A and B are shown apart, each in its own frame.
Chain A
Amino acid sequence: GAGVSQSPRYKVTKRGQDVALRCDPISGHVSLYWYRQALGQGPEFLTYFNYEAQQDKSGLPNDRFSAERPEGSISTLTIQRTEQRDSAMYRCASSSTGFSYEQYFGPGTRLTVT
């Protein structure tokens, strides 16, 4: 079946603009995760959902970042008033629920803030 998809794959925006990044998880996966990956680094946890409930948002850097998953499927990560330091690869992953299940990652959205 289809894997995790993300859109757009690339986004260039000007400083101060808002951006919305979309993630479509694997069908039937209960859990959805957002990570940010800087160049040369491993992915860094941002937030995650079980169904539509946001379980942990401790990794969101500040209140300009928010995420939602209103119907328990597609999720949107929104960054308001973007800054150059927000430039990174944003990765989404999904999994079945439970600690032993691996997460499956999408191709990522490369965000560049100019």
Chain B
Amino acid sequence: AQSVAQPEDQVNVAEGNPLTVKCTYSVSGNPYLFWYVQYPNRGLQFLLKYITGDNLVKGSYGFEAEFNKSQTSFHLKKPSALVSDSALYFCAVRLYNTDKLIFGTGTRLQVFP
């Protein structure tokens, strides 16, 4: 079955330090991968996507993600975290022959000053 896993419920990082939010997937066929962020009382906001091409994808607010086919991972990264990055982050996958997104359970990122 197609699935997305976010193994960490919460990630804590000090402001200015690099951050990583992990995501692994299990799908048949080529995956289209997405990261979304959810701030309190707000809708999900699109951050970045991997469709094809370079394995390192750059997105909004200085975030980037690396697609690793052999490890079936799509980890979200940022070189220097900000307190304002604190939010709930969701990884999602869309299969080549469908239009629906399958989401992970989310990872809460807490950046401490």
Residues of chain A whose beta carbon lies under 8 Å from any beta carbon of chain B: 3-4, 31, 33, 35, 40-45, 48, 50, 55-56, 59, 91, 93, 99-100, 102-108
Contacts and interface: CB of A to CB of B under 8 A. Distances in A.
Contacts of B45: 105
B46 A104 contact: yes
Given A42-B105, A104-B46, A48 B51 contact: no
B98 A56 contact: yes
Contacts of B98: 56
A99 B98 CA distance: 8
B87 interface: no
B32 to A, nearest CB: 6
A108 B99 contact: no
Interface of B: 4, 32, 34, 36, 41-46, 49, 51, 90, 92, 94, 96, 98-106
Nearest to A48: B99
Contacts of A103: 46, 101
Contacts of B34: 102
A102 B105 contact: no
Nearest to B106: A42
A106 B44 CA distance: 7
A97 to B, nearest CB: 9
